[in-house]
Structure 1
Amino acid sequence: MDHQLKIYNTLDREKELFVPLHAPHVGLYVCGPTVYSDAHLGHARPAITFDILFRYLTHLGYKVRYVRNITDVGHLEHDADEGEDKIAKRARLEKVEPMEIVQFYLNRYHKEMDELNVLPPSIEPLASGHIIEQIQLVKEILANGYAYESQGSVYFDVVKYDKDYHYGKLSGRKLDDVLNTTRALDGQSEKRNPADFALWKAAQPEHIMRWPSPWSDGFPGWHCECTAMGRKYLGDHFDIHGGGMDLVFPHHECEIAQAVAAQGTDMVRYWMHNNMITINGTKMGKSLGNFITLQEFFTGSHKLLAQAYSPMTIRFFILQAQYRSTVDFSNEALLASEKGFERLMDAVSRMELITPSKSSNVDVSDLEAKCYEAMNDDLNTPIVIAHLFEGAKIINNIIAGNNTITAEDLDKLKGVFNLFLFELLGMKPDANASGKREDAYSQVVDMLLEQRLIAKQNKDWATSDKIRDELAALGFIIKDTKDGTEWKLTV
């Protein structure tokens, strides 16, 4: 299969032909969640985005090692220079062990990802399980002269690094601008510059989670975990590193600096970032307090929700925008996604009602090629969906008797939906929607049979036979009994 996938490389700010380092093997690393509360819609987007990439690379024949880390201690989040450990804080309030908090929310996250039909990664390492690797990374950076120890903590020397390399090449920032916009925090006199970030922090007495190191009992800085675990499982050089656009600076910028400072070369070839979920034009996230959790979407329990939305509606909603575009939450948009997905699923089910003809007067030959073209263009899922709606229109016209299709072309059409809607976009039949459709079908059939009964009572045999025969043509078996009329669908 020869498909030329182009992906947008954040580092070079352009679409590039994807050429793996060690074909047919591909190394993919994606920043996963920090587990101290329920996942929200903003967590679903990177999970779904890189699930699509994982699926497509696998489909193209690559052997993908997909690593998605879990940040399982709150003080590894952000710069580890300020604030309280979120996991430790929640553990203290609930009077449980910190890892009980981690396990509880990690279990919920896995369940929600399964409901969204997100495939599990090849490896899902925990930050707390790779302290040794992070300490080793810090040692290498110190040995190469790009870090310094201060009062038991170790900081990355951004100014010295920038003299030899370019700090800011991923985000496009210049060091002077970073220095001018980085605020000095209380208790940071141990830093040489406000922009220097923590590689290792000496733990204060109240810190619950701490590890011994050559410098102090403490904990790693947030940025260390991805660099250390990426190297461990994918090597010093690997293909793709992904995450949300909000991670470009400082997290991924610091990752690049750490890797270069430790080994002298870049670790990652392609950087990919999905854009944000917004609500009224503002980023949806925990820090802003405007987020809606996935469970609230699934149950409809949030005050901003007009109803409950199924996991497949959420997935379809996210895929209707290209991953580098923002997606603005609204009930109207979600309702439109729900109806749009139902239309596609109705078309899929109605294909089973089609009786092939000896000739086709519809052209389905290029539908697959157009879907591939969209996928190869930086995973342009909304264009793929638009082409699937073209396929649905063809199906509906055939059902209506306006067109005909051969068995061969019908198999092609089924193949397109099976491949792109289910295998690559990861959609699956929505149990709730299926139930609604079945209820609607039952009500319509019952209504027609009631009209047939009235026709029979009026001795309008022509109308009675017409309703029976047309239902039979659609696959319904109608049986009159002494207690009334029974029916069932045979296709």
Structure 2
Amino acid sequence: MQLYESNQIKIHNSLTGKKEQFKPISEGHIGMYVCGPTVYSHVHLGNVRTFMSFDMVFRYLRHLGYKVRYVRNITDAGHLENDADAGEDKITKKARLEQIEPMEVVQRYTVDFHNILNTFNFLPPSIEPTATGHIIEQIELINTIIQNGFAYEVNGSVYFDVYKFNETHEYGKLSKRKLEDLIHNTRELDGQTDKRNPQDFALWKKAEPQHIMRWPSPWSDGFPGWHLECTAMSTKYLGDHFDIHGGGMDLKFPHHECEIAQNEAAKGKSPVNYWMHANMLELNGQRMSKTTGNIINPDELLSGNNSIFSKAYSPSVIRFFIAQSSYRSVLDLTDDGLLASEKGFFRLMEGIHMLDSLKVSDTSSIDVETWKQACYNAMNDDFNTPILIAHLFEAIKYINQIKEGKSTINAEDLKLLKDTIHTFAFEILGLENLTKKEAGMDKLSGAVDILIKLRQDARANKDFALSDKIRDELAEVGIQLKDGKEGTTFSVS
């Protein structure tokens, strides 16, 4: 018997706006597609948060015994600036600015993407297709949509006819947008486009003479539309109808909306049963944005080489911080939040390490079986990692009570407690089994804490020369002190 037979999952389906009981199309098997990165720049922490959310979903589904085919694509062509149908390809622009080949850009940032995800202990997807590796499939898909009457060709470009589609289908069902409202809120384009209507979107674009990335097609030398790529790749590997499609909230419209329309126009059926969307990551209360500069890359946070945070943080601490919030909630990345998560992470790890030294008794005063089921219940409820973590800390409370002789546990329950907490902390949340000592933090933290205390005493005695001397000499050896409302912290550069 597989675990999924006794654990009924509920998933918040963006298509219906409700939590629904999950029932796979084929018993014991799950097809899951998640929109991957456009590899023209370093992956930022907002992207990491989205992919980490689905990494934990993937881990849990596999733990339950499902055979999961997880497809996460790489967009290496066709994604134009501002997610539009006109303008320059993001990868081509980067190649032009750096005076290198577009595929050098793709290779550089694909490697960077994989390195970052490996650092954060991600499991690799089952298949990682690229847009440029599926040009033939995209051309065939466009031909089918044209033949079915939902697309038209103009001057070598092919556009999806949203108006025609909406006569027999519902465009906007995922994002809950009405076509009439979209029309009302769209300005006239004054003949600057080949589109029949502003809401139509490109399936194939004729390449301008200066456009480097191009492929032959029945309509022109050109390149596929960004939305089309995901439809072609998801259905090739998961079929015309599959279980779960995930991505960031910002992709719901127009990207995922267009995916649904393309699939219904080509295949006559809606492609996905459960749409899942991870919410945004903010930085100090504001949306992360490259244009405003309110952004931080993973390497900067991991190394401490930034002007925003007081210290460097380990990958597992950042992963733990992200897991403390529901994937559907906006998450604000702050120094105070990370410092609190770091304390919580090491408290959890130290409690887990304490398991091996616990004394067993003939009886148990702790109901481990009920606690274990509560952990499963949390993950079964739309992958509720914050509630799961609360249950893990409940286990740490039990461990401390047993250590202090206030509670008892027998050998069988101790094994169950240990196996369960290891499963959820390491296998499902993907944390590293790491204590402060193993992280090399205990001795350094202890030594710096002594110096911080001496500096505080010096300042209290108005001995500012000694206070400054401690700060400056620590800085000379790469230890930066930062005074804040919660006290003094340090970072190592």
Settle same-fold status: TM greater than 0.5.
Answer: yes
CA deviation profile, 1:382-438 (whole Å, cap 9, x unmatched) = 000000000001111222232222212211110121111111111112477623465
Q: Which AA in structure 2 matches 1:244?
A: G
Indicate the residue corresponding to 2:259 in structure 1. 255
Indicate yes or no: 2:161 matched with 1:195: no
1:244/1:275 contact within 8 Å kept: yes
Q: Which AA in structure 2 matches 1:365?
A: E
Indicate the residue corresponding to 2:421 in structure 1. 417
d(CA) in 2 for partners of 1:408 and 1:96? 62
Indicate yes or no: 2:134 matched with 1:136: no
d(CA) in 1 for partners of 2:42 and 2:164? 40
Indicate the residue corresponding to 1:205 in structure 2. 209
2:78/2:226 contact within 8 Å kept: no
Q: 2:389 aligns with which of 376, 385, 388?
A: 385
Structure 1 residues 440, 79: closer, same or farther in 2, change over 3 A? closer
Indicate the residue corresponding to 1:397 in structure 2. 401
Indicate the residue corresponding to 1:54 in structure 2. 58
Q: 2:23 aligns with which of 8, 12, 19?
A: 19
Structure 1 residues 97, 241: closer, same or farther in 2, change over 3 A? same
1:316/1:337 contact within 8 Å kept: yes
1:285/1:291 contact within 8 Å kept: yes
Q: Tell me the TM-score normalized by structure 1.
A: 0.87
Q: What SS does the aligned partner of 1:434 have?
A: coil
Q: 2:301 aligns with which of 297, 322, 334?
A: 297
1:7/1:16 contact within 8 Å kept: yes
2:40/2:91 contact within 8 Å kept: yes
Query: After superposition, where does 1:341-352 map in structure 2 within 5 Å?
Result: 341-352=345-356
Query: After superposition, where does 1:390-469 map in structure 2 within 5 Å?
Result: 390-430=394-434, 434-436=438-440, 439=443
Q: 1:328 aligns with which of 316, 323, 332?
A: 332
Q: Which moved more, 1:71-80 or 1:119-128?
A: 71-80
Indicate yes or no: 2:249 matched with 1:245: yes
Indicate the residue corresponding to 2:311 in structure 1. 307
Indicate the residue corresponding to 2:229 in structure 1. 225
d(CA) in 2 for partners of 1:76 and 1:83? 6
Indicate the residue corresponding to 2:483 in structure 1. none
Q: What SS does the aligned partner of 2:79 have?
A: helix
Indicate the residue corresponding to 2:358 in structure 1. 354
Indicate yes or no: 2:296 matched with 1:275: no
Indicate yes or no: 2:69 matched with 1:45: no
d(CA) in 2 for partners of 1:13 and 1:7? 10
Structure 1 residues 438, 204: closer, same or farther in 2, change over 3 A? same
Q: Which AA in structure 1 matches 2:242?
A: F
Q: CA deviation at 1:278?
A: 1.3
CA deviation profile, 1:278-336 (whole Å, cap 9, x unmatched) = 12443224355422111111111222121111111111111101111110111101111
Indicate the residue corresponding to 1:116 in structure 2. 120
Indicate the residue corresponding to 1:35 in structure 2. 39
Indicate the residue corresponding to 1:460 in structure 2. none
Q: Tell me the TM-score normalized by structure 2.
A: 0.86
Q: CA deviation at 1:257?
A: 0.5
Question: Larger radius of gyration, structure 1 or 2?
Answer: 1
Please list every run of 5 or more consecutive structure 2 residues that lacks an aligned counterpart in the other structure. Answer: 448-493
1:29/1:240 contact within 8 Å kept: yes
1:141/1:261 contact within 8 Å kept: yes
1:80/1:201 contact within 8 Å kept: no
d(CA) in 2 for partners of 1:196 and 1:86? 21
Query: After superposition, where does 1:106-185 map in structure 2 within 5 Å?
Result: 106-184=110-188
Q: CA deviation at 1:171?
A: 0.4
d(CA) in 1 for partners of 2:113 and 2:437? 24
Please list every run of 5 or more consecutive structure 1 residues that lacks an aligned counterpart in the other structure. Answer: 444-491
Q: What SS does the aligned partner of 1:328 have?
A: strand
1:80/1:221 contact within 8 Å kept: no
Q: Which moved more, 1:386-395 or 1:93-102?
A: 93-102
